[in-house]
Amino acid sequence: MQVIPALPGEHNLKNYARAREEFDFQSVEREFSWHATGRVNIVYEAVDRHVEEGGGRQVALYFESGERQEEYTFGRLQGEAARFAAVLQKYGLQKGDRLGIFMPRSPELYISFLGAARLGVVVVPLFEAFMAEALKDRLGDCGAVAVVTTSELYPRLPLAQLPALKYVFVVGENVPAGAVGWHKEMSLVTETPPMEWVGREHPLFILYASGADGKARGLVHVHNIMVGLLITARWVHDLRPGDVYWCTADPGWITGIAYGFLAPWLLGIPVVVRGGRFNAEDWCATLAKYRVSVWYSAPTAFRMIMSGGDELLSRYDLSHLRHILSVGEPLTEEVMEWSLARLGQPIYDTWWMSETGMNMICNYRCMPIKLGSIGLPFPGIEAAVVDDEGRELPPGKIGNLAIRAGWPAQFRAVWNDPARYEEYFRHQPWFISGDAAYRDEDGYFYFQGRLDGVINTSGERVGPAEVESKLEEHPAVARAGVAGKPDKLRGEIVKAFIVLNPGYTWSDALAAELREFVKTGLAAHAAPREFEVKESIPLTGDGRVDRRVLREWVLGLNDA
Ligand code: 6R9
């Protein structure tokens, strides 16, 4: 096994072993203003505080998308967020109400998030690829009273099926009849409300994440998430004054929320946000143009840049890049070798999930990287590999990757579904992640795939049951079973096994139609890339799809 030695030089985290022994999260709490004042709001710590301490003219956000290029200082963000809080207040939104944010990356998205949280309103981020059904499930489940969107996405909102939804704020021109103009309302604000102080346990956002069965679950994160974000931004991402940080994840997913803006802003570090579709050339141009020094991305993106060839990289000055991190899917040897050879540095893998809220098992600059390992638990975090009864397994044995419950950024509930929440904690004191892993003698962890059938395509989480129920709405489909099939570029692709209804025959046209059906009904990234017709779908004793057999099917095991 290849080992990449610890990097020499000054790092924020200097000695991992010592930090493991001495560090506790309470020491981080002392860094927040609320430690002294008792007044809590993450927006104050991420934005207002920097302004009050004289950093109002520092850039917080470099935004670029197509023709649009804008810079926002912390001062400007503070002002705009306060105005949006005033708009929400005018429309009667109060602390604890839920506000959906369903739009492509734009400054207005971040302003809406901050403005809501400033008022104690709970944000429900919705990935821009979601279609009517996914939106109905999520907005309906949390009873959102308002949504921020764009005129392009507005028609996807199934308004008639969302009785609790009272207002839709539309960003940009062409505000549809019945909707509220976001910009117009912002321009009318004359007075802004003060920061709403909340408890540390007050909900900040509800993020819907797919599980193995049923509908997506609303993971509730609270303002206290800041404790985990600040210290990982410093020790894992190694952020310090002068850095320009680019996390490429979309704010519809946990990475794009936690590290896309909250974590770096807690340290007053400017972030780059790039809109539009992925394009290897544009991404290299962005790294060079903004002199990105710390870059957080995913293996699929690295592979796409890799396939652009050395010639692409050689045209850009990437000399400012000093720390690269990866998340979401296994970081393969080929990507690591490419980075070492072409970017002159390793990539630091980080393992965590929507439920954990913060980086959990990571690689650090002061520690050797063992190729193929997701690294070591963050100081203050205890991780283990446990069997199906919750008993700890020795090194080398594959089992459930588990985390000792009670870390600061932990999700606090599954909205409307306490039983689902309890299920994660069924083996006290452990949180059971759903991932398989083993540990070596030195305590390094090795990710071994999902245990529960959740699909990870290009780092995006897809719930097989949601895709199955969508497919089964189509008249041609009697029964569907969906699984992730290993794929060189995307990690996994969505593969659907289907049983046809009488009178239907299989054809490429039907495959295309089913694909489109999922794409337009649920979400583009959830649409199966491969289909296979079967006589029947394997079921477990209690009538659920047997994910273990599907897994064998996609891997081509026991092919019958
Ligand atoms: C942060 C995020 C979580 C699932 C997780 C695991 C996979 C995350 C990984 C990784 C291999 C890594 N995952 N980090 N797999 N190596 N470094 O992605 O959250 O969208 O909830 O997905 O992603 O399977 O369980 P989320």
Task: Return the pLDDT at 560.
Answer: 43
- Closest C-alpha residue for ligand 1 atom 20: 461
d(CA 139, CA 122): 12
* SS3 labels along 507-527: CHHHHHHHHHHHHHHCEHHHC
| Residue written as token pair 């910009």 | 183
Q: Which two tokens stand for residue 465?
A: 């049951």
Q: Ligand 1 centroid to 445 CA: how many Å?
A: 14
Residue 299 token pair: 């293996």
Amino acid at 368: P
C-alpha of residue 346 to centroid of ligand 1, in Å = 20
Residue nearest to atom 4 of ligand 1 (CA): 353
Q: pLDDT in tens for each of the 560 residues of the chain?
A: 689 999 988 999 999 999 999 999 999 999 999 999 999 999 999 999 999 999 999 999 999 999 999 999 999 999 999 999 999 999 999 999 999 999 999 999 999 999 999 999 999 999 999 999 999 999 999 999 999 999 999 999 999 999 999 999 999 999 999 999 999 999 999 999 999 999 999 999 999 999 888 889 999 999 999 999 999 999 999 999 999 999 999 999 999 999 999 999 999 999 999 998 888 999 999 999 999 999 999 999 999 999 888 899 999 999 999 999 999 999 999 999 999 999 999 999 999 999 999 999 999 999 999 999 999 999 999 999 999 999 999 999 999 999 999 999 999 999 999 999 999 999 999 999 999 999 999 999 999 988 888 999 988 999 999 999 999 999 999 999 999 999 988 999 999 999 999 999 999 999 999 999 999 999 999 999 999 999 999 998 888 899 989 988 998 875 44
**What is the structure's pLDDT at 357?**
98
**Which pLDDT score is estimated for 1?**
61
Q: Describe the crossing of helices 74-90 and 107-118 by its angle, rounded to 10 degrees.
A: 60
The pLDDT of residue 558: 54
Q: Kindly list the domain boundaries of the chain, sorted by start residue.
A: 455-555
Q: Which one is the CATH code of 455-555: 3.30.300.30, 3.30.365.10, 3.20.20.220, 3.30.1360.30?
A: 3.30.300.30
| Torsion from C-alpha of 84, 87, 88, 91, nearest 10 degrees | -170
Q: What CA–CA distance (Å, rounded) separates 269 from 55? A: 11
- Measured between alpha carbons, how far is 435 from 403 in angstroms, rounded to an integer? 11
Rounded to the nearest angstrom, the distance between the alpha carbon of 358 and the centre of ligand 1 is 11
Question: Given this model, what pLDDT does residue 540 score?
Answer: 87
Q: CB–CB of 29/35 below 8 Å? A: yes
The residue ranges of DSSP E strands in 50-179, in sequence order, are 59-65, 68-73, 98-102, 122-126, 146-150, 167-171
| ipTM confidence score | 0.99
Question: 100 and 124 in contact (C-beta within 8 Å)?
Answer: yes
Give the C-alpha separation, 466 to 252, whole Å: 18
**Ligand 1 atom closest to the CA of 454, numbered from 1:** 24
Q: What pLDDT is attached to residue 212?
A: 81
Distance (angstroms) between ligand 1 centre and the Cα of 188 equals: 43
Q: Which residues line ligand 1 (CB under 6 A)?
A: 209, 253-255, 327-330, 349-354, 374, 433-435, 447, 450, 456, 459, 461
Pick the closest to residue 214 from 545, 551, 554 (CA basis): 545
Which tokens in the block code for residue 172?
């940009």
In this structure, which residue's CA is closest to atom 19 in ligand 1? 353
Spatial separation of the C-alpha atoms in residues 435 and 352, rounded to whole Å: 10
Q: In testing the pocket of ligand 1, which one of 360, 363, 447 has its CB within 8 Å of the most ligand atoms?
A: 447
Which atom of ligand 1 lies nearest, measured to the CA of 253?
Answer: 20
At residue 213, the pLDDT reads: 81
Q: What are residue 414's DSSP bridge partners? A: 219
Question: What is the rounded distance in angstroms from the CA atom of residue 383 to the CA atom of residue 380?
Answer: 10
Atom 22 (ligand 1) nearest CA: 353
Atom of ligand 1 nearest to the CA of 433: 25
- Asked whether the beta carbons of 105 and 251 are under 8 A apart, the reply is yes
Please work out, in degrees rounded to the nearest 5, the angle formed at the alpha carbon of residue 370 by the alpha carbons of 369 and 375.
Answer: 70
Tens-place pLDDT, residues 326-371: 999 999 999 999 999 999 999 999 999 999 999 999 999 999 999 9
